[in-house]
Amino acid sequence: MRRTFIVLLLPLVLFAQTFYATPKPSFEHPRKWLIRLNTKDLHTVNHTLGAIYNVLKAYPSDALEVLVVAYGPGIRVLRKDYDKHTLKRIKSLMAYDVQFEVCKNTMETMHWTKKEFIDGVSYVQTGVAEVIERKAAGWIEVTPY
């Protein structure tokens, strides 16, 4: 019985595909994915990065915009002295046009400067306000972990 179930389930798994809502994601109609990064926990951060890689593979090229807004403890992840392996993954995602934004309010609270952060990040004054405004503009917020 169990073997029969597995044999019947196998074709469904092998031919599974994502069904896109209308309009289908494309260069003209990209999906806009917003992710909040408010933790410096290495395990959680790397799971989040892995989820970004997986979602990028699920969409056609140029059909998905990804923005990671870091605030609170999350901005620590984008500093040059964070975990080297994780920073390598972040820079790789940046090569795929994933955007990373750093909250300047948190930077000021921590007395950190822009020179302490990796190249290629953008800065916003208030990370949480950026999340609110992006959602108001139609971005889809899903934070994987």
Secondary structure of residue 77 in the 3-state scheme = helix
User: Do the domain assignments include residue 120?
Assistant: yes
Q: What are the residues facing 79 on neighbouring strands? A: 117
Residue 15: C-alpha distances to residues 5, 10, 12 (Å): 16, 9, 5
- Angle (nearest 5°) at CA 107 between 105 and 113: 135
What percent of the chain stands above pLDDT 70?
88
pLDDT of residue 23: 79
Domain extent, residue 86, equals 20-141
Instruction: Tell me the whole-structure pTM to 2 decimals.
Output: 0.85
- Tens of pLDDT, residue by residue over 24-40, are 888 888 899 999 999 99
- Compute the average pLDDT of residues 37-65: 95
Residues 6+ apart with CB under 8 A from 107: 75, 113, 114, 123
User: Do the domain assignments include residue 129?
Assistant: yes
Please give the tally of structural domains in the chain.
Answer: 1
User: Do the domain assignments include residue 39?
Assistant: yes
In 3D space, the residue among 47, 50, 109, 106 whose CA is nearest the CA of residue 78 turns out to be 106
| Predicted confidence (pLDDT) at residue 82 exceeds the cutoff of 90 | yes
Query: How many CB atoms within 10 Å of residue 23?
Result: 8
Per-residue confidence band for 17, with pLDDT thresholds at 50, 70 and 90: low
Per-residue confidence band for 13, with pLDDT thresholds at 50, 70 and 90: very low
User: Do the domain assignments include residue 87?
Assistant: yes
91 token code pair = 């820079």
| Predicted confidence (pLDDT) at residue 7 exceeds the cutoff of 60 | no
| Predicted confidence (pLDDT) at residue 10 exceeds the cutoff of 50 | no
Instruction: Tell me the H-state helices in the chain.
Output: 2-14, 42-58, 84-95, 104-110, 127-136
Question: Which CATH number covers residue 62?
Answer: 3.40.1260.10
Residue keyed to tokens 């901005």: 75
User: Do the domain assignments include residue 3?
Assistant: no
| Predicted confidence (pLDDT) at residue 1 exceeds the cutoff of 80 | no
List % helix, strand, coil for the chain (3-state, nearest 5): 50, 20, 35
- Tens of pLDDT, residue by residue over 88-137, are 999 999 999 999 999 999 999 999 999 999 999 999 999 999 999 999 99
User: Do the domain assignments include residue 56?
Assistant: yes
